[in-house]
């Protein structure tokens, strides 16, 4: 591999020959220095625009807005991004970390054609690589693969040896406007609003020049681009066609400056690829390798992200369609034509009080863009849902750069605007008389590019929710002498927009008429007995601030939030089935996802009794933005998850990596997870369980730059008990029984178990805990709801995978030779093959001798089965356990299994005189 250094190559004319015809004159160097340039000179020149030919005369083109001072935000201090300064105005779309944000639409509009580094949208998939300023010039990257002359070079040599160029480029996330698709039907991606688009001046080197030096070999067709970010499935890598990379009209560059400054860490410091006209997911940040290949990238992030699968494929079906994901026909490269509205803002009002001199006109304003270098050629507006149209005015600020002299340099690079391709967004506006708006119920907008491709009327829903570009619709409301304009949606979890309102009212957003009832449309039958349970007390009018909520984040008076409503859990600390810790761990937090995922309608019906107020909207937005914060320093030996001594945290989700799946029966598997380091302890007390949170498999939660296919996927949360001991280190094993959907589609199966089963190895899964009201302390002493109880015998009743908490307690008893507690295990299953952990149970029975007896009963036994037969019922328990009076006060019944089984066991034992205080249901 060729190593580029100042001594090996002149800055003005590289000695390596170009495979493609080189310029007739040496490329001008951005740094006008000799080959023996000193490091300190490089350091100063990389951050200056000293070679710019700008004078005091204002240039004919826009310059970027001056960014306001920023700092590391409090919510980032406890994350791996604690070195990254950020603007607090950015809207977080996926919680605290990773950092995925868009600016407020109004703030994006106010900055104009160019977006400051502070407000430029960000799509990250994991921690931001940390690169100090002193390390920037020594950043190394390679050009390799199917090339004649592989190259390894540092950034300083890229600057010295190649022609530097600067030009404006608009980057767009493939998920821009995805919130609209998520309202119609949940996709596997998180909810971008309409501000996943930004424009900046980028300075660097044409990628074609680097490839020319390396010399692609015959058969080379693709360029693979790999970043340095460390993600669960390795580095992020994607690819584009070699012909695109070599085409000067495409304008693909390797950039190290943004708006005249070194790249901000969120935007790829110190080096990235910028690909105009294509989705942001192809513009790889923190660039380390450029690989020329005959085939597209095989990287996980290239295959399972930035794709538009056929609209009939559901998120559930997509999990089993590996070949479909690999089909390059569904990969997204060029952007599609799209537009959105800046003015009016969502819920903006305009007075109808007309002037006496002339009729008032409201001016609508917005942006539009196309892909692949195409220009937006027209912008059309309709007030009658497409029967008639009006033309809007379009301005192209990008063209102002073409007015600069050919030799103009900007931020150290030649202002290279010789190409015909359009690399940027444009702006449009149209004035409409208020009298016409007053008589209209909505305004719809569509753009067309120079290839006559026009935004479609209707949405093309797809499993990842990418490339959403139907007509942009504003609804007009007439209210007390004014007009109020309503946008389709608001980003992230922010409420608002006509789409949510229409869907909540029962409208069908996919009916082709924006959810409005049309003549002949059959109204969907409403299921009987499905009245939504109200969780609020209508008489409570109190408004609570985030500061007030924060004063109740402990165990004395725990307050928590569900759907924006505040509840006081103090009265339920003793009676909560999951134990007081379940409420305490949610104190001071937004517990919406967890509560709705695991609580029944009966539990919801109890909530008005604990309802104390509503969190004000500002506080709710702040709370949601920090909902997935990392553990605080007080909970472990370090503020970083990767160095904590204990894995499980009661208030925060911790990630572990799925490392293996081991089948142990026809429908059950042991899922193994790797913790952060070999010495990290699970931290689960005996008898308690943990919460597991999984997003849909194949989601691209950690994928780079483009659409963010999975970060916003539906969260599925369930409680599990690992079969690993709580004191185990480095790894955790969880036994799960898989409940598949029926082949005829009549039953959906278990959402969580199927999602977990389809999850690829290497995926990150989140855990929180411990939770549960029961804990076994050892040698006959346990606590139930915090109250200590001494027992001499456990009756353990379980079925299926309900064996896991039973096995956990039984193992603790038998492993302690000084523990004299007797244990009777009654394990009910359908067939002999359904018995889980049989070898382990029988080993404990053997070692426990007189202290342990294991009884299996089968409802569908084979002819040769010699154990008990039939379902677990009162007769079985009367024969094997006896009545409450026969057993005495020091026996405790532990029950775990399906909900129906637990109800039956409870009734059977109550019939034998056992009280509620004698039964613990896990």
- What per-residue confidence (pLDDT) applies to 77? 92
Which of 11-15, 541-545, 888-892 is least confident? 11-15
Please check whether residue 536 is in contact with residue 564, taking contact to mean a CB–CB distance below 8 angstroms: no
Residue 243 has pLDDT above 80, yes or no: yes
Per-residue pLDDT band for 502 (boundaries 50, 70, 90) equals very high
Of the listed ranges 143-152, 560-569, 745-754, the one predicted with least confidence: 745-754
pTM to 2 decimals? 0.62
Cβ atoms of residues 253 and 165 within 8 Å: yes
* 67-81, 106-120, 414-428, 903-917: segment of lowest average pLDDT: 903-917
Q: Is 173 a catalytic residue?
A: yes
Residues composing the chain: 922
Architecture of the domain whose range is 644-771 = Beta Barrel (2.40)
More confident residue, 241 or 587: 241
Predicted confidence (pLDDT) at residue 250 exceeds the cutoff of 80: yes
Instruction: Report the percentage of the chain scoring pLDDT > 70.
Output: 83
Quick one: which of 406, 401, 287 has its CA closest to 28? Answer: 406
Whether the per-residue pLDDT at 115 is higher than 50: the answer is yes
Neighbours of 915 (CB within 10 A): 9
Residue 714 pLDDT:
60
Q: Which of 759-768, 814-823, 884-893 has the lowest mean pLDDT?
A: 884-893
Closest by CA position to 799, among listed 825, 771, 764: 825
* Cα–Cα distance measured from residue 389 to residue 444, given in angstroms and rounded to the nearest whole number: 9
DSSP label of 36: T
Task: Assess whether pLDDT exceeds 90 at residue 812.
Answer: yes
What is the layout of strands, in order, in the sheet containing 472-479?
Answer: 349-351, 482-486, 472-479, 442-449, 376-382, 390-391
pLDDT band at 543 (very low <50, low <70, confident <90, very high): confident
**Who wins on pLDDT, 705 or 882?**
882
CA 247 to chain centre: 34
Choose the catalytic residue: 81, 87, 173, 590.
Answer: 173
Q: Which of 100, 259, 299, 306 is catalytic?
A: 306
Gap between the Cα atoms of 922 and 917, Å rounded: 14
Q: How far is CA 354 from CA 430, 480, 496, in A?
A: 19, 14, 29
Is residue 81 annotated as a catalytic residue, yes or no?
Answer: no
Distance in angstroms (rounded) separating the CA atoms of residues 172 and 494: 21
Is residue 305 among the annotated active site residues?
yes
Q: What is the pLDDT of residue 897?
A: 87
Helix boundaries (H) for 203-336: 207-214, 242-246, 300-303, 315-318, 322-326
CB 777 within 8 A of CB 692: no
**Which listed residue (81, 161, 229, 305) is catalytic?**
305
DSSP 511-554: SSSTT---TTPPPPPPPTT-PPPP-S-TT---EE-HHHHHTT-S
More confident residue, 555 or 333: 333
Residue 365 has pLDDT above 50, yes or no: yes
CATH of domain 774-921: 3.40.50.80
As a CATH number, domain 543-625 is: 3.10.120.10
Residue 520's pLDDT is 56
Q: How many CB atoms lie within 10 A of CB 124?
A: 26
Q: Which residues of 842-867 are buried (b: 16+ CB within 10 A; e: fewer)?
A: eebbeebeebbebbbbbeebeeeeee
* Confidence band, pLDDT 50/70/90 cuts, at residue 606: confident
| Token digits of residue 468 | 């959403």
Confidence of residue 656 (pLDDT cuts 50, 70, 90): very high
Q: What is the mean pLDDT of residues 27-53?
A: 41
Binning pLDDT at 50, 70 and 90, where does residue 724 land?
very high
Residue 880 CA to its chain's centroid (Å): 51
pLDDT at 361: 92
| pLDDT exceeds 90 at position 466 | yes
CB 914 within 8 A of CB 890: no
User: Which tokens sit at 491?
Assistant: 């980003």
> Is the pLDDT at 30 greater than 50, yes or no?
no
The stretch 120-129 carries a mean pLDDT of: 96
Q: Where are the domains of the chain?
A: 338-504, 543-625, 644-771, 774-921
pLDDT band at 275 (very low <50, low <70, confident <90, very high): very high
422 is in an annotated binding site: no
Name residues whose C-beta falls within 8 Å of residue 149's C-beta, 6 or more positions apart in sequence: 2, 16, 213, 214, 215
For residue 434, pLDDT over 90 is answered with yes
Q: What secondary structure letter does DSSP report for 461? A: -
Average pLDDT of 832-838? Answer: 90
The residue with greater pLDDT, 33 or 598, is: 598
Q: How confident is the model at residue 571 (pLDDT cuts 50, 70, 90)?
A: confident
Residue 31 has pLDDT above 50, yes or no: no
Identify the band that residue 581 occupies on the pLDDT scale cut at 50, 70 and 90: low
**Mean pLDDT for the stretch of residues 324-341:** 96
Cβ–Cβ under 8 Å, residues 421 and 276: yes
Average pLDDT on 841-852 reads: 92
Distance, in Å, from the CA atom of 365 to the CA atom of 177, rounded to the nearest integer, reads 17
Question: Which range has the worst mean pLDDT, 438-442, 771-775, 891-895?
Answer: 771-775
CB atoms < 10 A from the CB of 630, how many? 24
Give the DSSP letter of residue 86.
B
Q: What per-residue confidence (pLDDT) applies to 915?
A: 86
* Lookup result for tokens 């995978």: 801
User: What mean pLDDT comes out for the span 809-815?
Assistant: 94
Average pLDDT over residues 184-211: 96
* CA–CA gap between residue 786 and residue 260 (Å, rounded): 61
The predicted pLDDT at position 914 comes to 87
Query: Does 49 or 640 have the greater pLDDT score?
Result: 640
Which stretch of 132-136, 206-210, 418-422, 517-521 has the lowest confidence by average pLDDT?
Answer: 517-521
Class of residue 829 by CB neighbours under 10 A (exposed 0-12, middle 13-18, buried 19+): buried
Which positions ≥6 away from 153 have C-beta within 8 Å? 3, 4, 140, 141, 142, 161
Q: Which of 39-43, 206-210, 329-333, 586-590 has the lowest mean pLDDT?
A: 39-43
735 torsion bin: left (phi>0), alpha (psi -120 to 50), beta (else): beta
Q: How confident is the model at residue 21 (pLDDT cuts 50, 70, 90)?
A: very low
On the question of a common fold for 338-504 and 644-771, the answer reads no
Is the model's pLDDT at 529 over the cut of 90? no
Q: What is the CATH architecture assignment of 338-504?
A: Sandwich (2.60)
Out of 699-713, 731-745, 847-861, pick the least confident: 699-713
pLDDT in tens, 674-705: 998 999 999 999 999 998 988 754 444 333 33
Confidence category of residue 253, pLDDT binned at 50, 70, 90: very high
Query: What's residue 29's pLDDT?
Result: 33
Instruction: Give the pLDDT of residue 554.
Output: 74
Q: How confident is the model at residue 39 (pLDDT cuts 50, 70, 90)?
A: very low
What does the pLDDT average to over 723-740?
90
- 225, pLDDT greater than 60: yes
800 or 334: which carries more pLDDT confidence? 334
Mean pLDDT (the chain) is 85
3-state secondary structure of 753: helix
């Amino acid at each position: 591999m060729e190593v580029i250094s100042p001594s090996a190559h002149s800055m003005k004319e590289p000695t390596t020959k170009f495979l493609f015809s080189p310029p007739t004159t040496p490329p001008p160097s951005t740094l006008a220095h000799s080959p023996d340039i000193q490091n300190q000179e490089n350091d100063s020149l990389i951050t200056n625009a000293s070679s710019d030919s700008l004078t005091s005369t204002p240039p004919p083109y826009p310059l970027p807005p001056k960014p306001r001072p920023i700092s590391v935000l409090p919510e980032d201090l406890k994350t791996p991004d604690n070195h990254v300064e950020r603007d607090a105005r950015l809207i977080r779309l996926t919680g605290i970390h990773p950092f995925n944000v868009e600016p407020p639409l109004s703030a994006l509009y106010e900055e104009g054609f160019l977006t400051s580094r502070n407000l430029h949208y960000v799509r990250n998939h994991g921690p931001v690589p940390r690169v100090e300023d002193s390390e920037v010039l020594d950043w190394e990257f390679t050009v390799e693969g199917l090339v004649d002359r592989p190259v390894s070079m540092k950034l300083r040599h890229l600057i010295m040896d190649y022609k530097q160029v600067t030009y404006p480029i608009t980057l767009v996330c493939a998920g821009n406007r995805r919130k609209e698709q998520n309202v119609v039907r949940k996709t596997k991606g998180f909810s971008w609003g309409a501000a996943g688009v930004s424009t900046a001046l980028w300075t660097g080197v044409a990628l074609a020049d680097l490839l020319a030096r390396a010399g692609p070999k015959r058969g080379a067709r693709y360029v693979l681009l790999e970043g340095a970010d460390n993600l669960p499935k390795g580095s992020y890598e994607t690819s584009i066609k070699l012909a695109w990379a070599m085409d000067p009209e495409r304008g693909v560059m390797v950039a190290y400056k943004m708006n005249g400054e070194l790249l901000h860490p969120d935007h790829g410091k110190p080096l990235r690829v910028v690909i105009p006209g294509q989705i942001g997911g192809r513009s790889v940040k923190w660039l380390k390798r450029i690989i020329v290949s005959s085939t597209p990238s095989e990287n996980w992030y290239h295959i399972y992200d930035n794709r538009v699968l056929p609209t009939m494929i559901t998120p559930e079906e997509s999990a089993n369609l590996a070949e479909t994901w690999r089909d390059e026909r569904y990969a997204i490269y060029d952007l599609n034509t799209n537009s959105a509205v800046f003015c009016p803002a969502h819920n903006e009002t305009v007075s109808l009080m007309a002037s006496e001199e002339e009729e008032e006109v409201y001016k609508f304003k917005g942006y539009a863009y196309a892909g692949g270098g195409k220009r937006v050629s027209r912008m059309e507006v309709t007030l009658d849902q497409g029967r008639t149209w009006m033309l809007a005015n379009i301005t192209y600020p990008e063209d102002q750069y073409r007015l600069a002299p050919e030799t103009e340099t900007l931020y150290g690079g030649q202002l290279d605007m010789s190409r015909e391709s359009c690399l940027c967004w444009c702006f449009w506006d149209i004035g409409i008389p208020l009298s016409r708006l007053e008589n209209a119920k909505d305004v719809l907008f569509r753009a067309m590019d120079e290839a006559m491709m026009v935004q479609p009327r209707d949405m093309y829903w797809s499993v990842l929710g990418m490339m959403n570009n139907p007509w942009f619709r504003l609804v007009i409301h007439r209210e007390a002498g004014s007009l109020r304009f309503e946008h389709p949606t608001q980003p992230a979890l922010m409420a608002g927009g006509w789409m949510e309102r229409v869907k909540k009212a029962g409208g069908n957003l996919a009916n082709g008429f924006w959810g409005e009832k049309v003549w002949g449309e059959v109204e969907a039958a409403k299921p009987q007995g499905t009245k939504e349970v109200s969780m609020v007390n209508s008489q409570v009018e109190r408004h609570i601030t985030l500061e007030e909520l924060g004063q109740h984040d402990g165990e004395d008076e725990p307050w928590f939030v569900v759907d924006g409503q505040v509840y006081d859990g103090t009265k339920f600390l003793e009676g909560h089935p999951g134990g007081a810790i379940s409420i305490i761990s949610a104190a001071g937090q937004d517990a919406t996802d967890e509560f709705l995922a695991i609580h029944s309608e009966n539990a919801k019906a109890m909530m008005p009794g604990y309802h104390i107020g509503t969190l004000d909207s500002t506080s709710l937005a702040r709370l949601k933005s920090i909902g997935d914060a990392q553990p605080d320093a007080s909970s472990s030996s370090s503020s970083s998850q990767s160095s904590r001594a204990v894995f499980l945290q009661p208030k925060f989700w911790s990630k572990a990596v799925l490392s293996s799946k081991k089948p142990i029966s026809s429908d059950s598997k042991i899922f193994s997870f790797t913790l952060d380091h070999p010495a990290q302890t699970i931290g689960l007390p005996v008898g308690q369980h943990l919460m597991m949170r999984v997003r849909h498999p194949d989601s691209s939660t950690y994928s780079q730059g483009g659409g963010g296919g999975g970060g916003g996927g539906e969260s599925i949360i369930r409680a599990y008990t690992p079969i690993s001991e709580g004191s185990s280190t480095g790894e955790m094993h969880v036994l799960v029984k898989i409940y598949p959907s029926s082949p005829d589609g009549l039953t959906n199966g278990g959402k969580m178990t199927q999602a977990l089963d389809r999850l690829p190895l290497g995926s990150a899964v989140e855990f929180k805990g411990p939770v549960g009201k029961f804990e076994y302390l050892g040698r006959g002493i346990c606590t139930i709801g915090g109250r200590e109880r001494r027992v001499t015998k456990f009756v353990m009743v379980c079925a299926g995978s309900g064996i896991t908490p039973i096995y956990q307690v039984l193992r603790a008893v038998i492993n302690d030779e000084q523990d004299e507690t007797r244990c009777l295990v009654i394990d009910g299953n359908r067939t002999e093959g359904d018995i889980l952990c049989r070898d382990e149970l029988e080993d404990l029975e053997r070692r426990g001798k007189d202290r342990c007896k294991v009884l299996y009963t089968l409802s569908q036994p084979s002819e040769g089965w010699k154990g008990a037969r039939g379902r677990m019922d009162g007769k079985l328990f009367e024969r094997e356990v006896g009545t409450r009076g026969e057993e005495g006060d020091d026996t405790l019944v532990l029950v775990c299994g399906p909900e129906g089984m637990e109800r039956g066991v409870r009734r059977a034992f109550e019939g034998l005189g056992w009280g509620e205080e004698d039964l613990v249901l896990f």
